[in-house]
Amino acid sequence: MTDRQDEQDLIAAVKRGDLDAFEVLFNRYQPILVRSVAYHLRDTESAHDIVQETFLRVWQHRGTLNPSLSFQALVYRIGYNLMRDALRHLETRHRTAADVPPPVPPEHADPVDATQHALLTAELRRVLREQLPERCRMVFELSRLEGLPMAEVAVRLRISPKTAENQLTKALRILRRALRHHLPPDAGWRPTSEESPSPAP
């Protein structure tokens, strides 16, 4: 039996729900995919997470597998899409790092700053609870408070990474608008032009 025929048989078996066949394909392609993703991310731990998610998605959608197509090409495509989403999310986190206060005050904050931070955090949580739609709140909490990568947020909430990013952007817009009066003038929080109140007619 040729290697190609062997792979086609394995894919067909996975499509039928055969976990043993899936494990064979996992062991065959997981190491090279981890090395490839880690090379681009420069982060082996994140690469393992992305590859694990890649194979999870293959199993979840096994009914759509086509045995005549390359399994390696399939997992590379899924893995690289997840890696791209992770990199985009990292860039978003860097751009919006000042948009919400950290969950704990700065390490060497004086009592006044610590008190102000506590009040702001309490107000933040009130806005999260009362003003954010449920999905916005869940995305924000998982992404910004628990620090999960956007790909994992999307999987947990069973939405696409793009939808998760849109929900995070919406949450940040609501939070900026709701909290702008609670921040000192030099805090760096400013509503964007689209969030600024319109001038009175």
In this structure, what CATH number is given to the domain that contains residue 65? 1.10.1740.10
> How far from chain centre, in Å, is Cα 31?
23
Number of domains in the chain: 2
Is residue 38 within 8 A of residue 83, CB to CB? The reply is no
**The overall pTM is greater than 0.75:** no
pLDDT single digits (tens) 162-178: 888 888 888 888 887 77
DSSP state of 17: T
Supply the CATH number for residue 146's domain. 1.10.10.10
pLDDT of amino acid 110: 53
pLDDT of amino acid 118: 59
Structural domain that includes position 104: 96-182
Nearest partner of 123 among 175, 167, 172, judged by Cα: 175
